[in-house]
Structure 1
Amino acid sequence: MQPTFSGTYSTPYIILFLIFFILFLWENRLRNKQSDIKIVRYLGMLVFFVFFGFRGYLDTDFAVYYPLFESAPNLFDFKEVANFFSHTNEDYLLKIEPGFKVLLIILKTIIPNYFFLQIISSLINVLFLDYFFRKYSPQYILSFIMFLIFSGLVIEINLLRNSKAIFLFLYSLQFIEKRNPAKYFICNGIGLLFHSSAIFYFPLYFFLHKKINPAFVWGTFILGNALYLGQIKFITPVVIGVGNMIGGAYAGLAEFYSESSLYSSGYGITIGYLEKVLTFIIFYKSYNKISEYIKDQNLTNIFFNLLFIFTTAYLYLNEYSVLIERITTLFAASYWILFPYFYATLEKFMKTIFTFVLLLFGILKMYKSNNFIIRRYENILWNKPSIAKAYYILNKHMDKILHPDKK
């Protein structure tokens, strides 16, 4: 019988990280010679695409998207297409945004195989990331590494709909910088057609490019740490109150999420907490150096404000672990860009220290994040993944994964 937890499940992810780490060293060597990094860029994209695009049934979201893809009609079956959008077939279709349904129908018409959805999804994502990192990052491969370490695995493996909204937002950052509201809201309006979480991006146009008063930044940060460490619950009463005010199913959901240890417990002092707090302090202490390197105040403000929202959400939403994961993931791109800028500002010796720490931390992160059975990696190029086996493993092991200390 396969164990629920094993270091062998993490091995492919560690290898993936090490490949990108070697590409990172190669990129730096090319940059030092003032050579073109195009070969490193293409190899990075190819490795990413093969690893994620041709994966088997990983984690949990295949349990949602596989039956959804199977239920999607052919584009030319007009009656079934109408039913697919009118929800007369299944109630769960109510939760799926129309843009994603259109994508499903088109892909199902071209090749009626679920893996084709994963392949095209990863191809779209890697093209967005390539554009984003080429445009904003001074260290192309380091941005990919930070993507893998900070939220990227979850985004790529488990968030087929959310990822499109996130990447459309990243594409739209240029329109905040250039103050083009029409294009910004069009981009995120399209994102909203793929996932409702894109609604959080709409207000950002009005302030993300502005510098926040440092006193407010540090005051919010210190208060957030006090609330987090003190485990002071102030959101729970609000959620329950709003739920009761609306009534019906919302009251039940509010009570469920508030009382469930799975969804409402804070994280406490963990490696993740220390990493986020230290990163926030280091980046803001390096604000002037990074700002001088970027040479664009609007752009500097955009990424630091994303970091501020990311860290604030983590500290203030600790009562609801489900909220921490969902909200912070929307703003994790601050790490993917600010770490490369931070690295670029370091002296040669400190870059060596950074590289060594990155190697150790990256291996640790890949190990800790993937050492459970539903992350057991398979690739359709050399394996034959079974949907029946994937469902069996998910049902058998999920409770133990969620409650590892449970006897």
Structure 2
Amino acid sequence: MEPTFSYNYSPPYVFLFFIFFFLFLWENKIRKNDGNIKTVRYLCMLVFFIFFGFRGYLDTDFVVYYPVYEDAPTLADPKGVLRFFSGVNKDYLLKIEPGFKTLIILLKSIWEDYFFLQIVSALIDVLFLNYFFKKYSPQYVLGFIMFLIFSGLIIEFNLLRNSKAIFLFIYSLQFIKDRNPVKYFICNGIGLLFHSSAIFYFPLYFFLHKKFPPQLVWGAFILGNVLYLGQIKFITPIVIAIGNFFGGVYSLMAEGYSEDSMYSTGYGITMGFIEKFFTFILFYYSYNKIGKQIKDEKMLNIFFNLFFIFTVTYLFLSEYAILIDRMTTLFVMSYWILYPYVYTILERMFKLVFTFILFLFGTYKMINSNNNIIRKYENILWDKPTITRAYYIINKHIDKILGPKK
């Protein structure tokens, strides 16, 4: 019988990190000689696509998307398409946004195997990431490494819908800079058709390009740490009050989430908190030097403001673990860009220190984030994953894996 937790599940992820780390070193060697990194870029994209696109049934969201894909009609069945969009006799379909339903129908019309959805999803994601890191990152591979370390795995495995909204938002950042509201809202309107969380991106157009006052930045950071470390609950009363105001199922949901330790327990002092605390200080200490590298003041403000929102969300919503997971992921892309800029401004000796810490921390993250059985890696190119076994594993082990964080 396979155990719920074991470090034997981690090696494929460590190996993936090692490949990207080698590509990172190779890229830097090429850059020193003013060479072209095109080969490194293509290898980076290929490794990403094979690892994520051809994965088996990993993590938990296949439980949602597999039956949706199985129930989806093809374009040859117009009546089935109408039923699929209306969600007749399939309540869970009502939770799936129309943009994602359209994508599923198109893919199902090409190939009926569920894995085709994962393949195309990963292809879309890696093309967006390639665009993002080519356009904004001074270190291409380091951007991918930061993606892996900071939320990338959960985005690829569990956020098939959310990821499209996130990447469309990333694409729309240029329209904030250019002050082009039509293109910005069209991009994120399409994102909204894939996941409702895209609604949080709409207000950002009006202020994300502006520099936040230092008093606001540091004041919110200090207050957030007080709330976080003191485990002061102020969200819970608000959630319960709103639930009671609307009554019925909303009241029950609010009380249920507030009383369930799986959803409402804060994280406490963890490696994640320590990392975020020192990252905040490091980024804002380096603000002026990074600004000289980015040169475009609006883009500088956009990435720092995204990071600020990420950090404040993490600290202020600490009493709701589920809110931390969902909300911070919407703004984590700031990490993928700002850390490569920190690397570029370092002197040679500190670059070596950064590289050494990156190797240790990345290895640590890959080992400890993937040591449970639902992350046991399988690839359809050389394995034969089955849905029955995947369901068996998740039903047997999910309660232990998603138990309250301590």
Q: TM-score, normalised by structure 2?
A: 0.99
Deviation (angstroms), 1:402: 2.1
Aligned to 2:321: 321
**Maintained 8 Å contact 2:262/2:404:** no
CA distance in 2: counterparts of 1:245 and 1:175, whole angstroms: 38
Aligned to 2:130: 130
What secondary structure sits across from 1:353 in the alignment?
A: helix
Map 1:7-406 onto structure 2 (within 5 A): 7-403=7-403
Greater mean alpha carbon deviation, residues 211-220 or residues 85-94: 85-94
Q: Residue type of the partner of 1:351?
A: K
Deviation (angstroms), 1:400: 1.4
CA distance in 1: counterparts of 2:89 and 2:56, whole angstroms: 27
Deviation (angstroms), 1:399: 1.1
What secondary structure sits across from 2:212 in the alignment?
A: coil
CA distance in 1: counterparts of 2:400 and 2:151, whole angstroms: 22
Deviation (angstroms), 1:8: 1.2
CA distance in 2: counterparts of 1:189 and 1:358, whole angstroms: 37
Compute the RMSD of aligned alpha carbons. 0.9
Deviation (angstroms), 1:405: 9.2
CA distance in 1: counterparts of 2:363 and 2:308, whole angstroms: 27
Deviation (angstroms), 1:89: 3.0
CA distance in 2: counterparts of 1:54 and 1:90, whole angstroms: 28
CA distance in 1: counterparts of 2:279 and 2:165, whole angstroms: 26
CA distance in 1: counterparts of 2:252 and 2:60, whole angstroms: 25
CA distance in 2: counterparts of 1:213 and 1:361, whole angstroms: 32
CA distance in 1: counterparts of 2:255 and 2:213, whole angstroms: 37
Deviation (angstroms), 1:404: 8.0
Q: Residue type of the partner of 2:123?
A: L
Gaps of 5+ in 2: none
Q: Residue type of the partner of 1:56?
A: G
Percent of aligned positions with the same letter in both sequences? Answer: 70
Q: Residue type of the partner of 2:11?
A: T
**Maintained 8 Å contact 2:267/2:405:** no
**Maintained 8 Å contact 2:262/2:405:** no
Q: Residue type of the partner of 1:224?
A: G
CA distance in 1: counterparts of 2:273 and 2:5, whole angstroms: 23
Q: Residue type of the partner of 2:173?
A: L
CA distance in 2: counterparts of 1:272 and 1:384, whole angstroms: 35
CA distance in 2: counterparts of 1:238 and 1:151, whole angstroms: 28
CA distance in 1: counterparts of 2:62 and 2:375, whole angstroms: 12
**Maintained 8 Å contact 2:240/2:251:** yes
* 1:314-369 deviations in Å (ceiling 9; x for gaps): 00000100000000000000000000001000001000000000000000000010
CA distance in 1: counterparts of 2:405 and 2:95, whole angstroms: 33
Deviation (angstroms), 1:104: 0.5
CA distance in 1: counterparts of 2:382 and 2:235, whole angstroms: 48
Deviation (angstroms), 1:87: 1.2
**Maintained 8 Å contact 2:12/2:377:** yes
CA distance in 1: counterparts of 2:400 and 2:169, whole angstroms: 36
Q: Residue type of the partner of 1:139?
A: Q
Q: 1:98 to 1:250 in 2, by over 3 A?
A: same
* 1:232-287 deviations in Å (ceiling 9; x for gaps): 00010000000110111111110111000000000000000000011011100110
Q: Residue type of the partner of 1:90?
A: K
Deviation (angstroms), 1:75: 1.0
CA distance in 1: counterparts of 2:32 and 2:391, whole angstroms: 49
Q: Residue type of the partner of 2:44?
A: G
What secondary structure sits across from 1:370 in the alignment?
A: coil
Q: Residue type of the partner of 1:343?
A: Y
What secondary structure sits across from 2:21 in the alignment?
A: helix
What secondary structure sits across from 2:369 in the alignment?
A: helix
CA distance in 1: counterparts of 2:12 and 2:110, whole angstroms: 31
Gaps of 5+ in 1: none
Q: TM-score, normalised by structure 1?
A: 0.99
Deviation (angstroms), 1:403: 2.9
**Maintained 8 Å contact 2:133/2:140:** yes
